[in-house]
């Protein structure tokens, strides 16, 4: 495994819609492993492949300290409710904002073995999944933030 460089928001790849993964080859598996290590190293709770310069539809999302979900070609099937919450982004350091997201989502994706699965998420995990799937469309949370928040007013918020 290796750490990858996290691009910041002035990089054009973050603004481009990513491509579907057609073939889960060794490059994709290596990318997933590297993304896990890079996210942990950066203390993040989620990461999209284009944040490390690979324009493919791949995201990872942490659920607590133990579980990291890997989603290849994720698709949001259902969304329910809405709630405001504060987000940051590993690609936009020192910037936080209040974003409205669905409070519950059902997402389908492929796992690293190419098997389809369905993930039902609420709370922070639901928020992280929506934030990361936006990355795959070239959308950043600052596009959607209702207001930005001074980092001095926050403590210990997590970034994705």
Residues that bind Zn ion (CB under 5 A): 89, 160
- Dihedral of the alpha carbons of 113, 45, 95, 121, in degrees to the nearest 10: 80
Distance of alpha carbon 59 from alpha carbon 145, whole angstroms = 21
Nearest Cα to Cα of residue 89 among 17, 12, 148? 148
CA distance 52 to 123: 26
Closer residue to Zn ion in complex, CB, 37/158: 158
Smallest gap from Cβ 26 to Zn ion, in A, equals 26
The answer to whether 132 is a known catalytic residue is yes
Q: Which residue has the tokens 């990355």?
A: 135
Which of residues 58 and 89 has its CB atom nearest to Zn ion in the complex? 89
The pairing of beta strand 92-101 with beta strand 58-63: unpaired
Closer residue to Zn ion (CB): 72 or 96: 96
Of 24 and 149, the one with the shorter C-beta distance to Zn ion is 149
Nearest Cα to Cα of residue 96 among 45, 50, 142: 142
Selected catalytic residue, list 87, 100, 122, 132: 132
Provide the minimum distance between the beta carbon of 101 and Zn ion in the complex, in angstroms, as a whole number.
13
Question: Count of CB atoms within 10 A of residue 20's CB?
Answer: 9
Closest-by-Cβ residue to Zn ion is: 89
Query: In the bound complex, what is the minimum distance in angstroms from residue 74's beta carbon to Zn ion?
Result: 14
User: In angstroms, what is the minimal distance from the CB of 109 to Zn ion?
Assistant: 18
Give the catalytic positions in this structure.
132
């Amino acid at each position: 495994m290796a750490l990858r460089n996290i691009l910041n928001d002035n990089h054009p790849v973050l603004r481009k819609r990513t491509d579907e993964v057609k073939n889960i080859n060794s490059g994709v598996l290596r990318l997933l492993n590297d993304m896990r290590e890079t996210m942990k190293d950066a203390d993040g709770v989620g990461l999209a492949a284009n944040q490390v310069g690979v324009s493919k539809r791949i995201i990872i999302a942490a659920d607590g300290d133990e579980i990291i979900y890997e989603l290849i070609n994720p698709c949001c099937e259902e969304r329910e409710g809405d709630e405001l919450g504060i987000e940051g982004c590993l690609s936009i350091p020192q910037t936080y904002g209040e974003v409205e997201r669905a409070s519950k989502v059902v997402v389908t994706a492929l796992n690293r073995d190419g098997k389809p699965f369905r993930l039902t998420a609420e709370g922070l995990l639901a928020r992280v999944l929506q934030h990361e799937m936006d990355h795959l469309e070239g959308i950043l949370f600052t596009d959607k933030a209702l207001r930005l928040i001074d980092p001095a007013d926050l403590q210990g918020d997590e970034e994705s």
